Amino acid sequence: MGKRKRKKVDPRPERQKLKEEVALELGLLDDIHEKGWGGLSSRETGKIGGIISRKLRLNELEKNKGD
């Protein structure tokens, strides 16, 4: 009997929402809905990750600037 693949879901819904927003900005959201996150190339996922990192870093800087 074969093993079933489990879908990996980020346990943090705010992070998942951010991933989907970035994918929409890059025009990849339709591909993700059709093929899932595993259907993206490493270049596409890297681009999404880089943009998320930049947004999180900028948000942190803005938050610290207010202190």
Cβ atoms of 37 and 7 within 8 Å: the answer is no
- 3-class state of residue 9 by DSSP: coil
Q: Each residue of 32-58: pLDDT tens digit? A: 999 999 999 999 999 999 999 999 999
The radius of gyration computed from the CA coordinates of the chain, to the nearest angstrom, equals 15
Say which residue, 2 or 19, is predicted with more confidence. 19
The residue to which tokens 């059709």 are assigned:
34
Q: How many C-beta atoms lie closer than 10 Å to residue 60's C-beta?
A: 10
Q: Each residue of 9-38: pLDDT tens digit? A: 666 888 899 999 999 999 999 999 999 999
